[in-house]
Structure 1
Amino acid sequence: MSLLTIEGVWKNFHGHPVLRGIDLEVNPHEVVSLIGASGSGKSTLLRCVNLLETVDDGTIYLDGEEITDPRADVDQVRKRLGIVFQAFNLFPHMTVLDNITLAPRQVHRVERARAEEQAYDLLSRFGLAEKARAYPDQLSGGQQQRVAIIRALATQPRLMLLDEVTSALDPALVVEVLGIIRELKESGMTMILTTHEMGFCRDISDTVCFLDGGVLLEKGPPEQIFTAPEQPRTQEFLRSVLESGRF
């Protein structure tokens, strides 16, 4: 059974359709990348999955449960999801350790000692153990984004949603964050990510989805999408990316 199923999802903003009948299945341990121009609906789709936006039509299922049902417990749904945005969104007045343990302690009711033990395990795993007592403004941008990902992992989510997590970083720091995503894939984490890093997308994805004007126009294995796309709009987009040097 798929971990996430999206069926016929529409989303409008001020009468303008941003998502137009999206259908998508994500299987356990699969990495799905969403690509497309800015404004194509990629981030909105992630926000709909995390229930930060209410869909106007269609249904979304997580582990077979319809999470778009108005009677669904939003807090319980979000306990199974981790989401990381372009902005790091770390609490500046809290240490790295406190940022990471906040949700496990306050939402999942994990005892402080256990939450801190788990946090140190994650920080060590991703090479940041020595930063546990540091504050966000004492970290580089790459370190802050890695902490944001670790914070999302601390709740042991079923599915990770990563929204352009490298777009706010200097090129030299991008590799730090891509490394942590690569390790998540190797550990079997199920992920949906939006990215403009086409080379990385091709390397890490099981499925690549091209969105255009709110429509999921084409999807398939990365080799198919990047070497033999069927849709003219996909071909045009990839050609423009190649010409821009972002591939």
Structure 2
Amino acid sequence: MSLLTIDGLWKNYRGHSVLRGIDLVVEPHEVVCLIGASGSGKSTLLRCVNLLETVDDGTIHLDGEEITDVRTDPDTVRKRMGIVFQSFNLFPHMTVLDNITLAPRKAHGVGRGEAERQARDLLARFGLADKATAYPDQLSGGQQQRAAIIRALATRPRLMLLDEVTSALDPALVKEVLGIIRELKEGGMTMILTTHEMGFCREIADTVCFLDGGVLLERGTPEQIFTDPREPRTREFLQSVIDARRL
């Protein structure tokens, strides 16, 4: 069974269609990268999957269950997903450990001792063992983003959604965050991520989807998309990325 199935998804804002008939299937352990220009609908698609946005038409199924059914409790669905945004969204008044253990304790009913043990294991795994008692403003941007990813992982999600998680970082800090994502892939985590890091996308993705004007215009393997895209708009977008890097 596919882990996630999106059928004919439409999303409108003030009469403007931001997503137009999106169809997408994500298999367990698959990594799907969404690429496209700003405003193409990538972030909105992730927000719809996480039910942070209501859909205007179409359906989304998670593990065979239609989560876009009006009777669905969004909070119950979100317990099975982790989402990380480009802004870290850590609670500034809480330590890193408290940030990470909050959802397991409050939403999943995990005891404090067990939640803290699991959190410390994750912090050690991703090189932040010595930052458990630090506050977010005492961390670098890369460390804050790593902590945000660990917070999402602490709930043991079925699916991780990562929205431009390196775009707010200095170039020197991007590598450490991409390293976490690479390790998650090696561990079999199912992920959908939006990124402008084309080299990393090519390395990590099983499937690359190019969005243009709210339409999923082309999908394929990284090899096919980056070396022989079928659609002229895909070729134009990739060329624009190359040209921007030359400036």
Shorter-normalised TM-score: what interval?
A: over 0.9
| Aligned AA (2:65) | E
Q: How many angstroms apart in 2 are the aligned matches of 1:75 and 1:11?
A: 20
Counting aligned pairs with the same residue, the percent is 83
Aligned residues: 246
Q: Which residue in the other structure is 1:85 paired with? A: 85
After superposition, residues 195-234 of structure 1 pair within 5 angstroms as: 195-234=195-234
Quick check: 1:36 aligned with 2:29? no
Cα distance per residue 1:58-109 (max 9 Å; x no partner): 0000000000000012111000000000100000000000000000000001
Q: How many angstroms apart in 1 are the aligned matches of 2:121 and 2:73?
A: 30
Q: Which residue in the other structure is 1:53 paired with? A: 53
Q: How many angstroms apart in 2 are the aligned matches of 1:116 and 1:3?
A: 29
Q: Which residue in the other structure is 1:108 paired with? A: 108
SS of 2:155's partner is: coil
Q: Which moved more, 1:70-79 or 1:211-220?
A: 70-79
Shift of residue 24, structure 1, vs aligned partner: 0.1
Q: Which residue in the other structure is 2:157 paired with? A: 157
Q: How many angstroms apart in 2 are the aligned matches of 1:196 and 1:98?
A: 31
Segments ≥4 residues shifted beyond 4 Å? none
Q: How many angstroms apart in 2 are the aligned matches of 1:160 and 1:237?
A: 26
Q: Which residue in the other structure is 2:183 paired with? A: 183
Cα distance per residue 1:18-41 (max 9 Å; x no partner): 000000000000000000000000
| Aligned AA (1:165) | V
Q: Which runs of 5+ in 2 are unaligned?
A: none
Q: Which runs of 5+ in 1 are unaligned?
A: none
TM-score by length of 1: 0.99
Q: How many angstroms apart in 2 are the aligned matches of 1:166 and 1:201?
A: 12
SS of 2:118's partner is: helix
Q: How many angstroms apart in 1 are the aligned matches of 2:88 and 2:164?
A: 11
Q: How many angstroms apart in 2 are the aligned matches of 1:60 and 1:202?
A: 26
| Aligned AA (2:116) | E
Cα distance per residue 1:145-199 (max 9 Å; x no partner): 0000000000000000000000000000000100000000000000000000000
Q: How many angstroms apart in 2 are the aligned matches of 1:30 and 1:123?
A: 24
Q: Which residue in the other structure is 2:169 paired with? A: 169
| Aligned AA (2:32) | V
RMSD: 0.6
| Aligned AA (1:89) | N
Q: How many angstroms apart in 1 are the aligned matches of 2:151 and 2:235?
A: 37
Q: Which residue in the other structure is 1:142 paired with? A: 142
Q: How many angstroms apart in 1 are the aligned matches of 2:73 and 2:64?
A: 15
SS of 2:29's partner is: coil
Q: Which residue in the other structure is 2:99 paired with? A: 99
Quick check: 1:128 aligned with 2:119? no
Shift of residue 202, structure 1, vs aligned partner: 0.2
| Aligned AA (2:202) | R
Shift of residue 244, structure 1, vs aligned partner: 1.1
